Every structure is written in structure tokens, then in C-alpha cells.
Amino acid sequence: MTARPTSRILTELEKAVGTAKLSTDAAVLAEYSRDLGPTDAAALPLAVVFAESVEDVQATVRTCSATGTRIVPRGAGTGLSGGAHAVENSIVLSLERMNRILEIRPDDEVAVVEPGVINADLNTAAAEHGLMYAPDPASHSFSTIGGNIGTNAGGLRCAKYGVTRDSVLGLDVVLADGTLIRTGRSTFKGVAGYDLTGLLVGSEGTLGIVVRATVRLRYLPVDVRTIAAFYPDFASAAAGVLAVGRARVQPAIMELMDAGSLADADRLNGSDLLARGNALLLIQTDGFGAEREAEVVRRVLAGTGAALHAEDPEEAERLVFLRRNSRGIGRDSEFRVGEDVAVPRSRLVDYVRELERMAEDHRVAVKVVAHAGDGNLHPEFWVDSKAPDIREAMARLDRALDESIDVALAMGGTITGEHGIGSFKLRWLPLEHSERLRELEHGVKAVFDPQGILNPGKAV
């Protein structure tokens, strides 16, 4: 800590957690003022608390509650919706130092973790027992379980293995007044009382601070098969998704990349994907039936105009890696905004066609990747940040974003499949949730956080 805290809240926090866990250093404040979401909403916090224990979290929350100070909880800060953007006069509460895997119980197929555990680290530890933690956001090697819980993170394996909520059995949570509660259970099933665990998952830190999670582990597949199907165009590749579905095969991974995404992946990684086709449908089957499923997938896709490659395990792993790293190329000369809509699967082709039309109408660039297995698309729109009239360019970008949301909703979709509302998507929430529904959400918020100090202006 370089600067001496002057205001009352900082003095109190110093008393509560000690100087080693508190920072008001300007560089730290700047670094912790935002996540990877669009920039517009972030402010500098008053301080960052680096909690190392449940007691640290309780002490911080009690101090903030007593002074009415707002708290922005934070995992690794890798969110894409501004859910961890700081607000004026707030404290950022980092959980990254609470990173212990407390228990792995192989026979119960359960793990107990602190919120700061990196998703991939839990998977490494579970793998020693033939187990895995199924939810695998593309950020799995640097995002935390706590952050994943905050947004109910999805990932590549969701269509088969479910999202974060489906793997969280119970939570220890520090409430807005500093009370520690335990929700849920340690068993796979349980229906006692209301499902507050499920309510907390995806609530983006607005209802309480998760300090411990009991999660279900699944079996590491004994076999994995990868099929890379390259197509001349995106619409044919999306038709391949429906064909696999009609064959009633449930892949573990079913990802779509369009030409723009293939080009970005090539540029970022030195690969040659675009030379193989203008769209890629990347499918993995897993488990005891992986080989038989892969046979059916190949047979079905052969009828949809795909150029098929049965990838060897090394090349397969590389393709999945390229897919995971196809986002966020972020060049200085461009202003990019990523989206996260989901549509019913049968509308994938229609939606992508609409995206291309919008891009043309508003003169913006677009590329798209999709977790096609569950209809979740990540279009990315961008404009040249050196455009002569940047305000006009940004206005076009905004109109394209708005339209992409409207069209997704009109097709029976949602404005966010897995990234959360954060602060960035709040403007669109009333288009999806009715006024009465939002009243209920705010009512629930008030039950958990009557002062409104937990991550204000996020999620609802």
C-alpha cells in the first residue's frame, strides 16, 4: 500500500483486514476498476480489498454495510459484460487470493472450493481421480470458479454437461450484512425449501458474496473423437448442426466458426484454417460411445457438403484451442464489441443471415462463433477506430448491436446466453424481462441486500 487512507471507510477497512490486504495504489485501482467488458461504465474504486479468508470477506462487508459503502466483488476480472466494473465511491473486493481447493471427495464425486480457484486448476486436480468439473468457459485457464458462479458461466461442453448452475450443489455466502449462510447441499439431489443456490448462481454478486462452493464432478471421458467439418459457407455449416441433432447424437462440443473467426484465429495463432474452408463445424464426441457417435456424425455430415477430417488427437486439441482463443483479438485500430445472444437451434442459419444483413446495412464488420449445440452465438461487431467521424461510426456500431438484440428476441432468443447482463447489457434487459418480472427481481434483491450495497447497477 503506497497511499495512506484518509477517509473514514479506508481507516475502518484497514482496521478490519489489515494493510497487507488493502490497496489504494493508483495502478492497482486502475487495474481493478474494470473487467474485460466494454469500457463505458467503469469508475475508479476507493480501494481494493484482497480477501484471504471468509472472515476477511465478512469484516469487509460489515465495514461497508456500516458506512453504506458499495462493494464490487471480483474474481479474475475476465467477465465480458462489465459485471465487475467498479462504480463511484466503491470498494472492489477481490476473491482471487481465496484459491484453495478444500476437498475433493472422489467417491462422492464432489469438490469443495474457494471462489478464487481457477477453473482449469480444479480440473487438473479432479483429473487425478478420473473426474472433471464440466463447465468450461473459453476463459477456463484464467477465470475463477467464483466468477463462473457469478455469471452462471457456460462454455463449450454445456449442451451435453450443462452450465455452471447444473454443477453447483451448495454455496457458503456472505450476505450484505456480513452474515455467513450456507445454501443447498452436498448431495446430487435435494429439494428442501427454495432453491436459493440456483438463485445466487448467475446473480453477479448482487445478492451475496460466494466464499465457498460445493460442486459436482463428472467422469473424465474414456474416449474423445474430434471431427472437423469445413464448409464453403456458414449456412451449410449451421445446417450440419441440425443434421447432427436429427441423428439424435449428443456431442460434447459442437462449435461453429465463420470465415472472419477463422481468419482471426489464423492471424493470432499462425494456423491455416481459412485455407480449408469458409466455415468450420468442430465436433467432439466423448465417453464410451464416442467412436460410434463420431461414425454417425461423419455419415450425417457427409450428406451436408462438408469436407471432413478425422483429426488425430494432437491436431484435435489444437483446433479446440484455436476455437477457445478465437475471441478478443482486439487490435488498436478497431473498436470491437462482442455479443452473446442465444436462439432456438433451428434459427441459427436465419440469425446468421440477419447478422450479415445488419453488418451491411450499418456498414460495420462482423464475425461470429457459436456454441452451436445450444444455439448460443458470439457475434463480434467492429468499426475502424481511426474512422474520420468516430462518433458516427460508433453510432452505427450501436445500431447494429441494438438490432442484433431485437432480432434474437424476435426469434425467441435471449440477450445473453452465458456472459451475464453486467452493466453493459442492462439497457436491453427490459426488452426481455417484463416490468412485472423486473419488479420481482428487484424485490428479491431488496430481500438480500436492503441497502443496495452489493454490486449496484449490475445484473437486474
Near a copy of itself in 291-310, by CB under 8 A: 292-293, 296
Of 181 and 310, the one with the shorter C-beta distance to a copy of itself is 181
Hey, which residues between 247 and 276 contact a copy of itself (CB under 8 A)?
Answer: 248-250
Q: Does 43 bind a copy of itself (CB under 8 A)?
A: no
Q: Does 415 bind a copy of itself (CB under 8 A)?
A: yes
Q: Does 417 bind a copy of itself (CB under 8 A)?
A: yes
For a copy of itself, which residue of 56, 136, 374, 380 counts as binding (CB under 8 A)?
374
Q: Does 18 bind a copy of itself (CB under 8 A)?
A: no
CB of 413 to a copy of itself, least distance (A): 6
CB of 102 to a copy of itself, least distance (A): 14
Q: Does 185 bind a copy of itself (CB under 8 A)?
A: yes
Hey, which residues between 349 and 368 contact a copy of itself (CB under 8 A)?
Answer: none
Q: Does 11 bind a copy of itself (CB under 8 A)?
A: no
For a copy of itself, which residue of 2, 20, 40, 189 counts as binding (CB under 8 A)?
189
Q: Does 414 bind a copy of itself (CB under 8 A)?
A: yes
Of 26 and 437, the one with the shorter C-beta distance to a copy of itself is 437
Q: Does 219 bind a copy of itself (CB under 8 A)?
A: yes
For a copy of itself, which residue of 98, 126, 134, 196 counts as binding (CB under 8 A)?
196
Hey, which residues between 120 and 139 contact a copy of itself (CB under 8 A)?
Answer: 130-131
Of 38 and 417, the one with the shorter C-beta distance to a copy of itself is 417
Q: Please name the residues in contact with 346: beta carbons below 8 A apart, sequence gap of 6 or more.
A: 242
Q: Does 224 bind a copy of itself (CB under 8 A)?
A: no
Pick the stretch among 48-56, 338-346, 357-365, 389-397 that binds a copy of itself (CB under 8 A): 338-346
- Taking residues 74 to 113 in sequence order and writing x for each that binds a copy of itself by CB under 8 A, - otherwise, the string is -------------------------------xxxxxx---
Pick the stretch among 64-72, 86-94, 370-378, 384-392 that binds a copy of itself (CB under 8 A): 370-378
Hey, which residues between 164 and 183 contact a copy of itself (CB under 8 A)?
Answer: 165-166, 175, 179, 181-183
